[in-house]
Amino acid sequence: MPDPVAPRRLPSILLLSLVPVASWFIVRPLVSPIPPLPALHVSFGLSIFAFVGTLYLVPALGPTFVKANLKGRDLLKTYSTPIPESLGLVCASVYILLLIIFIPFAFSSITLSDAYTVHEGIVIKEFPHYQLSVYLSSILSLLIATMLGLLDDIFDIRWRHKVPIPIIASIPLLMVYYAERGNTHIVVPIPLRPLLGTLLNLGPLYYLYMSLLSTFATNSINILAGINGAEASQAVIIALSVIANDLLYLPWPAYFHIPLHLLGGQADLEVGGVWRAGMAYGSTQLVERHLFSLYFMLPLVGVCAGFLYHNWYPARAFPGDTLCYVTGMAFAVVGIQAHFSKTLLLFFLPQIFNFVLSCPQLFGLVPCPRHRVPRFDADTNLLHPSKALFLRPPSRLATFVLRVLAALGLTELTIHPQSGMILEATNLTILNFLLLRLGPMAEKRLVQTLIATQVTGSVVAFAVRYGLANLVYDGDRR
Contacts to its own copies by CB under 8 A: 64, 67-70, 97, 100-101, 103-104, 106-109, 127, 129-130, 132-133, 136-137, 139-140, 143-144, 146-147, 150, 154-156, 168, 171-172, 175-176, 178-181
Q: How far is the CB of 208 from its own copies (least distance, A)?
A: 16
Radius of gyration of the chain from its Cα atoms, rounded to whole angstroms: 24
Least distance CB 214 / its own copies (angstroms): 14
- Smallest distance from its own copies to CB 175, Å: 4
Of 104 and 189, which CB lies nearer to its own copies in the complex structure?
104
Nearer to its own copies, 137 or 311 (CB): 137
Q: Between 181 and 396, name the residue whose CB sits nearer to its own copies.
A: 181
* Nearer residue to its own copies within complex by CB, 332 or 383: 332
DSSP tag of 395: P
**Identity of residue 378:** A
Q: Are 171 and 215 in contact (CB under 8 A)?
A: no
- Which residue number, 140 or 388, has a Cβ lying nearer to its own copies? 140
148 or 300: whose CB is closer to its own copies? 148
DSSP 284-349: HHHHHHHHHHHHHHHHHHHHHHHHHHHHSSSPSS--HHHHHHHHHHHHHHHHHHTT-HHHHHHTTH
DSSP 141-173: HHHHHHHHHHHHHHHT--HHHHTTHHHHHHHHH
**In the complex, what is the shortest distance from the CB of residue 155 to its own copies, in angstroms, rounded to a whole number?**
5
| Min separation Cβ 143 and its own copies, Å | 5
Residue 107 beta carbon to its own copies: minimum distance, rounded to whole angstroms? 4
| Helix runs in 68-125, H state only | 88-107, 115-116
Helix (H) / strand (E) containing 244 = helix 230-247
Residue closer to its own copies (CB basis): 32 or 69: 69
147 or 187: CB nearest its own copies:
147
Q: Which residues contact 366 (CB under 8 A, 6 or more apart)?
A: 360, 388, 390, 394, 398, 401, 402, 425, 428
Element (H, E) at 258: strand 255-258
Q: Helix, strand or coil for residue 111?
A: helix
Query: Is the separation of the CB atoms in 77 and 311 below 8 Å?
Result: no
Length reported for the chain: 478
Q: Which is nearer to its own copies, 172 or 251 (CB)?
A: 172
- Give the residue with the Cβ less far from its own copies, 210 or 237: 210
| Opening angle at CA 395, ends 390 and 397, nearest 5 | 125
| Letter string b/e over residues 94-107, b meaning 16 or more CB atoms within 10 A of that residue's CB | bbbebbeebeebbb
Shortest CB 136 distance to its own copies, Å: 4
Min CB(294)–its own copies separation in Å: 18
Minimum distance of its own copies from residue 152's CB (angstroms): 11
Using the 8-state DSSP alphabet, how is residue 67 labeled?
H
CA distance 85 to 68: 10
In the complex, what is the shortest distance from the CB of residue 293 to its own copies, in angstroms, rounded to a whole number? 19
